[in-house]
Amino acid sequence: MKLKAKKSVKPWDDISIDEILPYNPKYTKMIILSYISIAFFIFENTNFLGVSENILFLGKYIVYGILAFSLLYLFEDGNLGRMLNAFISITLVLAVISLLLNTFLFVINGSGFLGDLIGLDLPIAILGFVLIILDAVLVIIAAFLGPLNLIVTDHPKVQKHGAVIVVVFYIFIFLSWILHII
C-alpha cells in the first residue's frame, strides 16, 4: 500500500501578484509612463544630447504618440471607442482654442495661422496647422492625462506620485520661461 505524498505547497504560491504590489498595477504602469513622458519632455526642450532638429521632429511624434496611446489605453481601460472619443474631444477643444487665438493674433498684428494662409499655399498652411494641433494634443495627453489621473485616485501613494510629476513639470516650464526671458 502506497501512501499518497502530500502536495508540497509553498506559502507564497497562494498569494496573487495584486496582493504583493502596493497599489493597482494600472497605476504602476501609469506612473512609469508619466515619468517617461516628463523625462522626454525635458530632454526634448533642453536638447540634452544636441540631437538634430530634423531627427527630433520625427522622434517626438513617435514617442509622444506611443506614450499618449498607452496612457489613453490605461485611462479608458482598453475601450477603443472611448479612447477615440477622448482623443477627438481633446483635439477639437485645442483646435477651436488655437483658431480663436490665431484669429486674435491676425487681427492684432497680422501674424499667426491666418497670416500664413495669405503668404503660403493652402495645403501647406493646413498641414502646418494640423501638425501643431497634433503635437499639442499628444504632449497634453502624454504629460497631463497620466499625472492628473493619478492625482484624483483614492490611493495616497499614487496621489503623491502624480503630484510630484505635475510639480516637476510646472517647475521645468516656469524655469524655462524665466530663462527664456533673461
Least confident of 20-24, 61-65, 87-91, 173-177: 20-24
The vertex-134 CA angle with 129 and 139, nearest 5°, equals 130
pLDDT, tens digit (0-9, with 9 covering 90-100), for 88-146: 888 888 888 888 877 777 777 766 666 566 666 667 777 777 888 888 888 888 877 88
Per-residue confidence (pLDDT) for residue 160, from 0 to 100: 86
Give the side-chain half-sphere CA count within 13 A for 100.
Answer: 6
Per-residue confidence (pLDDT) for residue 4, from 0 to 100: 56
Which grid coordinates belong to 86? Answer: 477622448
Domains of the chain: which residue ranges?
22-179
Q: Is the confidence at residue 181, as pLDDT, over 60?
A: no
Per-residue confidence (pLDDT) for residue 11, from 0 to 100: 65
| Residues 79 and 90 sit within 8 Å (Cβ to Cβ) | no
pLDDT, tens digit (0-9, with 9 covering 90-100), for 15-52: 666 666 666 777 888 888 888 888 888 787 776 667 77
Biggest CA–CA distance in the chain, Å, is: 99
Q: Is the confidence at residue 1, as pLDDT, over 60?
A: no
Which residue matches cell numbers 506559502?
A: 11
